[in-house]
Each structure stands twice: as structure tokens, then as C-alpha cells.
Amino acid sequence: MAGSGETRYELYYWPSIQGRGEFIRLALEDAGASYVDVARLPDSQGGGVKAIMRLIDGKQGGLLPFAPPILKVGEQLLSQTANILQFLGPRLGLAPANDEGRAAVNQIQLTIADFIGEAHDSHHPIASSLYYEDQKPEAARRARIFLAERLPKFLAYFEKLLARNGGGGYLVGDALTYADLSMFQVQAGLAYAFPVAWARESLRHPLLVALRERVAARPRLAAYLASERRIPFNQHGLFRHYPELDAV
Ligand SMILES: N[C@@H](CCC(=O)N[C@@H](CS)C(=O)NCC(=O)O)C(=O)O
């Protein structure tokens, strides 16, 4: 895929959605890293969902992952999105040089993980294994509370982080980190899932919006976002657009 470099990364993630895998893809793409999105290869080339299942079933050795995204680097297997990003950050030039800065970025990434979990639960409040259609009343109730309470609370927190970081335009320090890339992705997902609520909330969070625009304009990311490698948002991922849940 993109770029060159000595280390060859293998990403294993569901091939038809952005989901949590997208946070890893964005870091690899922005850095121009050499990686293969393995499950998007045809089965005949060792790809497909089967490639993920082989890792989850423990057929390939390494530390057993519970769920994708999974990153394979040599013989090492990593899972948990924030953990993968913590590993990749310094290697891809997307993390601060010192321990304090790295811990700060990890802390923000874990808060993003909480946030996207709640965004997901707004359409699947009872169980991921059930169809949305089987939990619609609960989803309506959960989404109302998500939009009224949780969305503004999380966004206000991230906006404050940007304001307190001296106006440099990054969440931590004076250079872009993987948390900034993830913050772009969260906003893109929210704008897709909740266009009405997002139109209101984005007006209240100008620093976040500016960060989103700045990240989207980074040359490698702009090329990625315009490419076929960027899977369009759809009704199977973390962020889903059900107009009836986007009530103000
Ligand atoms: N905390 C994990 C969550 C991983 C996760 O929920 N992965 C989803 C796809 S985005 C999955 O396939 N889960 C299967 C399961 O939970 O059984 C992370 O951040 O990576």
C-alpha cells in the first residue's frame, strides 16, 4: 500500500468498514508507512475475514488477540486500538519524544475509545449481536441521552484540551500526534451519523473543527481520503446514520 520504509506492518481488520481499524489506517497512511490491509486482500492471497479468524483462533502463535484491529509486526501481534497506536506512535513520528507527552497522548486516545464506544452504543444499546431493528426503542432512548448529555460533554472536554494547549492546534505538545488523527476521525464519524446534532455542536467547538480541517488537508491523508483505500461510512460500522436517532 502507501509509502516505503523498513518495517512492514500487517493490519487485520474487518474489510468492509472503517470501524476501529480506521484509527490505525489513518496513522499508517499519514506516516506513509509500508503496510498491508490483509483482510482486504482476496482469500486466494491469504486475505479475507478468514485471515482475521486465523489470528483470533490462535492458529498463528503470538499473544492471543480478543478482537480486531490487530497489528502484526514481524512475529509480534498487538491488539486494542489504543495499545496499537501507542506502539506505532514513536515509530511513525506521531508521538511526543518524552514519556510525559506519550502518556498524555495515550490518555486522550483511551478517552476517545470511551467516546466511540458510547457513540456505537447509541445504535446498539442492548447487544452488538442483535440487529438495530431488534433494539430500536432502546436505541432511541439511548441516542437522546447521548446527544443531550454525553456528546456535548466529550466534545467540550476535547475543545478545552486544545484551548489549554496554547493555541498551537494540537491536543498534546507542539506537533501532530496520532490522537489528533483520531480526533479527525471521530468528528468525521459524528458528522456522518448525526448530521443535525453535528451542525449544532460543531458551531460550539471551533478548535476541534479547525483540527479536523487541518488533518484532512495533510497531503498524505488528503490523498488517502480521496482514494479507494478509504472505505465509505456505512450502516455496519461504529458510526451509523439512522435519521430517527439524530433528533435534536
Ligand atoms: N477495546 C477494543 C475493542 C475491539 C472491538 O470491539 N472490536 C470490534 C470491531 S471494532 C470487534 O470485532 N469485536 C468483536 C467482539 O467484541 O466480540 C479496541 O479498542 O480495539
Give Rg (Cα) of the chain.
Answer: 18
On the question of a cis peptide bond just before residue 69, with omega within 30 degrees of 0, the verdict is yes
Nearest to 85 by CA among 35, 41, 18, 20: 20
**Phi-psi label, residue 48: left if phi above 0, alpha if psi -120 to 50, beta otherwise:** left
**Element (DSSP H or E) covering residue 180:** helix 178-193
For ligand 1, what atom is nearest to the CA of residue 82? Answer: 19
pLDDT in tens, 33-51: 999 999 999 999 999 999 9
Rounded-to-integer distance, Cα 102 and Cα 177, Å? 9
Look at residue 248 in the predicted model and tell me its pLDDT. 59
H or E element in which residue 8 lies? strand 8-12
CB of 67 shorter than 6 A to ligand 1? yes
Q: Determine the pLDDT at residue 167.
A: 64
CB atoms within 10 A of CB 127: 10
pLDDT band at 61 (very low <50, low <70, confident <90, very high): confident
* pLDDT band, residue 57 (cuts 50/70/90): very high
pLDDT, one tens digit per residue, over 159-209 is 999 999 986 899 999 999 999 999 999 999 999 999 999 999 999 999 999
Count the residues in the chain: 248
Nearest CA to ligand 1 atom 17: 67
* Any atom of ligand 1 within 6 Å of the Cβ of 80: yes
Three-class secondary structure of residue 47 per DSSP: coil
pLDDT tens-digit map of 4-26: 447 899 999 999 999 999 999 99
Does ligand 1 come within 6 angstroms of the Cβ of 18?
no
Query: Ligand 1: distance of its center to the CA of 84 in Å?
Result: 13
Could you give the CA distance from residue 245 to residue 247 in angstroms, rounded to a whole number? 6
Instruction: Quote the Cα angle for 194-189-121, to 5°.
Output: 70
- Beta-bridged to residue 237, according to DSSP, are none
Out of 66, 123, 233, mutate this one to test ligand 1's pocket (max ligand atoms within 8 Å of CB): namely: 66
Q: Where residue 135 falls among pLDDT bands split at 50, 70, 90?
A: very high
Ligand 1 atom 1: residue of nearest CA? 80
* pLDDT at res. 4: 47
Q: Is 185 in contact with 22 (CB distance < 8 Å)?
A: yes
